[in-house]
């Protein structure tokens, strides 16, 4: 499933009183894994940035003066998010600003039904404690040491990692050793995994293996799957 993790920075805290967007950052995830596709734009808000906001994100009037208007990036932004669910920390804040910008240029708002609010998820999972993004990074051992100021893309990247932990979707990473008897699972135990004395019969047919090999061949010159595929039968025969 495709989802978009989104964050914004603004001139202030109140979209209803004229505060505007100054930055939008989005990270695409598919089946809870980042794909590497991002959207990031700074925006000229056509008004002064409050000093309190500059202290948070560091985006000054001078820096934003030559940036595009929201109307100039809106089509690209909407094309990137498509109809995917939007994962946002304190979603009512960010979507309020985005919909205010859409309203200014007479475009329909983004429905709030598309929002997945990680702040609400965190409050349900960790009641009675602070659930700011920095707190969640610390709780889930996510390195945010490079976050000296808020930034829409950086915060979206961190939130993508937090989101996976919040919903319990992070899988233990595997350390693959040359001897399968020495496979260890990080995050669970350092003891070697026990192996069956009699291996299970393979469930894949030769035809299915060949179909998979043919598919991998369409993925480019050096698809990562080649690192895990066994050699084809002809290569095994030649080696022996």
Residues 30 and 98 in one domain: yes
Q: What is the pLDDT of residue 41?
A: 98
Taking Cα atoms as reference points, which of 100, 168, 114, 137 lies closest to residue 5?
A: 114
Kindly state whether residue 89 falls inside one of the protein's structural domains.
yes
Residue 152 lies in a domain: yes
Residues 152 and 192 reside in one and the same domain: no
**Has residue 238 been placed in a domain?**
no
pLDDT number for residue 176: 37
Same domain assignment for residues 147 and 197:
no
- Do residues 146 and 45 share a domain? yes
Say if residue 31 is in the same domain as residue 149: yes
Residues 76 and 129 in one domain: yes
Instruction: State the catalytic residues.
Output: 150
Q: Residue 31 in contact with residue 79, Cβ under 8 Å?
A: no
Which strands form 115-117's sheet, in the order they lie side by side?
A: 33-42, 21-30, 2-10, 86-88, 115-117
Q: What is the per-residue pLDDT for 146?
A: 83
Last residue of a domain, one of 166, 197, 224: 166
pLDDT digits (tens, 9 = 90+) for 41-88: 999 999 999 999 999 999 999 999 999 999 999 999 999 999 999 999
Residues 178 and 135 in one domain: no
| Pair (25, 120) in one structural domain | yes
101 and 140 co-located in one domain: yes
Which of 147, 166, 185 is where one domain is finished? 166
pLDDT score, position 184? 40
Residue 18 maps to a domain: yes
Q: Is residue 212 part of a domain?
A: yes
Residues 65 and 130 in one domain: yes
Give the per-residue pLDDT at 179: 42
pLDDT tens digits for the chain (240 residues)? 999 999 999 999 999 999 999 999 999 999 999 999 999 999 999 999 999 999 999 999 999 999 999 999 999 999 999 999 999 999 999 999 999 999 999 999 999 999 999 999 999 999 999 999 999 999 999 998 888 788 999 999 999 999 999 998 775 333 333 444 443 443 434 444 455 556 666 677 778 878 888 888 887 777 777 776 776 665 555 554
Domain with 57 in it: 2-166
In a domain, 239, yes or no: no
Number of domains in the chain: 2
Residues 96 and 162 in one domain: yes
Quote the pLDDT of residue 174.
Answer: 35
Kindly report the CATH number assigned to the domain that includes residue 96.
Answer: 3.30.420.10
CA distances from 187 to 7, 24, 172, 175, 193 (A): 29, 34, 6, 11, 13
Q: Are residues 129 and 224 in the same domain?
A: no
Q: How far apart are CA 73 and CA 51, in angstroms?
A: 25
Domain termination residue (choose one: 133, 148, 166): 166
Secondary structure of residue 32 in the 3-state scheme: coil
Would 204 be classed as within a structural domain? yes
């Amino acid at each position: 499933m495709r989802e978009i993790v989104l964050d914004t920075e603004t001139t202030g805290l109140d979209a209803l009183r004229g505060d505007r967007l100054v930055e939008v950052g989005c990270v695409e995830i598919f089946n809870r894994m980042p794909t590497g596709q991002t959207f990031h734009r700074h925006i000229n808000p056509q008004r002064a940035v409050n000093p309190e906001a500059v202290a948070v994100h560091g985006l000054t009037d001078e820096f934003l003066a030559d940036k595009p208007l929201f109307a100039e990036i809106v089509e690209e932004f909407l094309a990137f998010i498509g109809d995917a669910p939007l994962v946002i920390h304190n979603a009512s804040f960010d979507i309020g600003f985005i919909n205010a910008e859409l309203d200014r240029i007479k475009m329909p708002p983004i429905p709030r039904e598309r929002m997945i609010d990680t702040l609400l998820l965190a409050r349900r999972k960790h009641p009675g404690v602070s659930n700011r993004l920095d707190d969640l990074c610390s709780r889930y051992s996510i390195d945010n040491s490079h976050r000296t100021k808020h930034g829409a893309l950086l915060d979206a990247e961190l939130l993508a990692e937090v989101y996976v932990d919040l919903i319990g979707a992070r899988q233990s990473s595997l350390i693959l050793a040359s001897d399968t008897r020495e496979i260890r699972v990080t995050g669970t135990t350092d003891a070697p995994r026990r192996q069956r004395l009699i291996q299970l019969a393979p469930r894949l047919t030769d035809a299915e293996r060949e179909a998979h090999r043919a598919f991998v061949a369409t993925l480019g010159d050096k698809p990562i799957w080649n690192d895990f595929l066994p050699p084809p039968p002809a290569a095994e025969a030649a080696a022996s």
